[in-house]
Chains A and B, each alone.
Chain A
Amino acid sequence: MNKSEPASSKPELTDSADADASEDDHELVRRSQAGDKAAFNELVTRYRQRIYAMAYQMTRNEQDAWDLAQDAFLRAWKSIHRFRGDSSFYTWIYRIVSNVTIDSIRKKQGRIETEFDDSLAGLQGIDVRARTVPGGTSSPDENIRQKEIGVRIQQAMEKLSAEHRAVLVMKEIEGLQYHEIAEAVGCEIGTVMSRLFYARKKMQAQLKDLYENF
């Protein structure tokens, strides 16, 4: 991983979280607005992992996450001249990737009925007659169990609307505050709390057998 890339475990939307980076960001944004692609490239390097992670958590698909992160940065470049610096660059790009991802999920949900698909879970590549032990420290049984759990979580997520999925990921995984989520998705705090209520209920109902034995 690139040395200048921030840790992706717990992204913060608050501007004070990464004050030094924000100051640098400000200069990079200014240069980007003047058409300096190298400066924008540096911003991409700084935030690509976080933006990719956000898209991945929402879609649970590496290829989709890659494409959505690309789209988000491309949209950011096109509209960088409109960025006024009222928030940090990360808050701004986070908002863009949220919207891009929500739009993408909406389109997909309108287009297909979700069905169980091995390819989504990465189970396709496993030969049932295989005798070789997969890499890693976990046992084969454990690996398969983890993948099955991943499939169950993915299926549960796919039954949520794009909006419910977004608030669930932002709250439960990204650890954002209500007002930060509201800012990112562009709605009232009350709406965020209401969406979170239903998203949690649906997820808990679908995964109860798994997390009760966890």
Chain B
Amino acid sequence: MLTIVFDGIAYGMLLFVLACGLAVTLGLMNFVNLAHGAFAMAGGYIAALLTSRHGVPFLATLPLAFAVPAVIGVVLERTLYRRLYGRSHLDQVLFSIGLVFMAVAAVDYAIGSQQQFVTLPGWLQGRVEMLGIQIGLYRSFIIAVCGVIVIALQLVLTRTRFGSRLRAAVDDRRVAQGLGIRVDAIFTLTFAVGSGLAGLGGALGAEILGLDPTFPFKFMIYFLIVVTVGGTTSITGPFLASLLLGIADVAGKYYVPSLGAFVIYTLMVVVLVIRPQGLFARAR
């Protein structure tokens, strides 16, 4: 029982790191970016290929798994995404689905459709028994890393000048712009960090979530659930939503495997119908 909760928390924190970039994109620019998973996939593939083919230690690949998607994110934001901010949601959806199609086919072409594996160092494998609970070492590692990231994000958002600017821009973009805050620069930076975190999440999660070219499609719905259920006005909303989703998903798969993902989707629809603005967001 507690093992399930523990695994669920690890899974949920992973989802949060993967999806928090999306929350910012959506909250700040009202941009529906379905291609977010593609950045996560990029990070995952970097980690998997470097560890398995070139023997680079797992920890050393993590900074790269962050940096490369972040750079790709900046380039794409500056060249393509930028043009679509004022456009309708339909355009944004079509555009980002197009990107996902391209990413999926390109990875399939370049690397192949088989599942990729990350080689973990020995000290992260296995489980230990602690207070009667089976604890996977790798999962505790994920919880630790993601916990640090969450705390760091929260501190940046609440304690720094950049954070307050970002929050102001999310709350009301026009007024923030009027006050001289350079919203587009903030956005480029957050987009980069969000993409980078997605990449990092993809690298960390390759072991648990599985990694193959269809990754962006498979997990798109999860990211969107986190964002829509958690709301985009704060970081705690998506965080709680991820934890909830992670625990519910792991527990659902453990106790009622025949229902599969059914529970999650139904829950999402119900939540969205009752509270379209998200479970933890205040109504605007």
- A associates with B: no
A residues touching B (Cβ–Cβ < 8 Å)? none
Chain B positions near chain A (C-beta within 8 angstroms): none
